[in-house]
Structure 1
């Protein structure tokens, strides 16, 4: 990639400036889930709330999620290649908050009282009542700053619930449409 000399020493936005600017972009909220086979059939579920989830390609069907590099989810996704995403509706606000908390309860306890089914391809929890779910197989992992971009091939996509309103994240908080 070419960098012109006049831009080589341009100032860089601070993390606070960057965060404030991007808080103006509304994003859908998803729960990324995985079943870690190393932890056995009952204890290997993990989940994280994500607003950095997007479609990459229709042919082949690819999606991308951004995962903090020092997170438990990044560690698990580095050793297993199947995962799932549940697109959350406005009724899932408390669930999104619980899975986004630092120092939260263990994932095992969070999933114990979260209604879900197991994905047929990933074995990962799929949240009951989600607007849509996708099951993925990792195609590529790309280091990017303090995150890892995980690109997944969509193995299955479903709309399991009647159409509802999406849960949105805007200006540092959860919102709903209209």
Structure 2
């Protein structure tokens, strides 16, 4: 059964409807980072997920034409720090539009360098993964990056996750 182009267009959700529906899904909050010739960049992400165990693959979604998309089109090594409740302010700072430079944000963010990627890893993160890009897949106004996990660590196994739900940061009750 095929759907006519007119019927398909009429049945699309509006951006506001789509955003409202997806706000009902709680998501973990992560900081995606990379380093390009000594310059660090980072972005807050709730679009991070496991793709495969064998081989170990993860996926991030990056807004097309963003600074992070531009950087990750040049370098194929990046890292993800899964944030805990205590990282709420950090998540907000790296999510801001028109924010300070990443250099200033990282100067004020406790971090270590990933041994595989040289990307910043947030000190006290619940877990960290370092990745190499395997695929870049255009998807609407975003670029999906599938990364092979080079190294994974769980430095804070008893920490509590920072969550994003209904348009705001939350924590487990």
TM-score by shorter chain over 0.5: yes
Deviation at 1:9, TM superposition (A): 1.8
Q: After superposition, give the CA deviation of every residue in 1:46-100 in whole Å (9 maximum; x if it has no partner).
A: 0000000000000000000000002100000001000000000000000000000
1:163 to partner: Cα distance:
1.5
Do structure 1's residue 128 and structure 2's residue 126 form an aligned pair?
no
Match of 1:97 in 2: 92
Unaligned runs of 5+ in 2: none
Partner of 2:22: 22
Match of 1:83 among 78, 84, 103: 78
Aligned twin of 2:42? 47
TM-score (norm 1): 0.93
Give the ranges of 4+ consecutive aligned residues of structure 1 lying more than 4 Å apart after TM superposition. none
The counterpart of 2:170, out of the listed 143, 157, 175, is 175
Matched, 1:161 2:156: yes
Count of residues in correspondence between the two structures: 171
SS state at 2:59 partner: strand
Residue 135 of structure 2: which of 132, 140, 155 is its match?
140
Deviation readout 1:15-56 (Å, 9 max, x if unpaired)? 01000000000000000000012xxx3xx0000000000000
Distance in 2 separating the partners of 1:5 and 1:24: 29
User: 1 CA distance for matches of 2:155 and 2:74?
Assistant: 29
C-alpha distance in structure 1 between counterparts of 2:6 and 2:124, whole Å: 49
Tell me the C-alpha RMSD between the 2 structures: 1.2
Deviation at 1:162, TM superposition (A): 4.2
